[in-house]
């Protein structure tokens, strides 16, 4: 039984794989293989946390970009 739980830990997606999955899902290009891995071996809390951080970063990036464009257009 210990070997089975150890192999389950190894099969869990890494932080980088989690970030890649969230980015792919945000842009609508997630592969079926990765989606299946995420739903069977991933932890929902990890995906939710990474999703919230990436969405906040995306919104902040968009705000900064729009402000830069508006400042440049005003000159």
The alpha helices in the chain, defined as continuous H runs, are 2-11, 15-26, 32-41, 44-74
- pTM, to two decimals: 0.72
Q: Which of left, alpha, beta for 69 (phi over 0: left; psi -120 to 50: alpha)?
A: alpha
Angle at 46 between CA 16 and CA 48, to 5 degrees: 110
- The torsion defined by the Cα of 45, 49, 54 and 55, in degrees rounded to 10, comes to 90
Tens digits of residue pLDDT in 12-54: 899 999 999 999 988 889 889 989 999 999 999 999 999 999 9
Which two structure tokens, joined as six digits, stand for 36? Answer: 């299946």
């Amino acid at each position: 039984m210990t070997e089975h739980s150890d192999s389950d830990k190894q099969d869990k997606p890494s932080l980088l794989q989690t970030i890649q999955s969230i980015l792919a899902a945000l842009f609508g290009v997630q592969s079926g293989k990765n989606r299946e891995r995420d739903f069977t071996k991933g932890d929902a809390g990890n995906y939710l946390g990474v999703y919230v951080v990436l969405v906040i970063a995306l919104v902040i990036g968009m705000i900064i970009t729009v402000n830069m464009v508006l400042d440049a257009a005003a000159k």
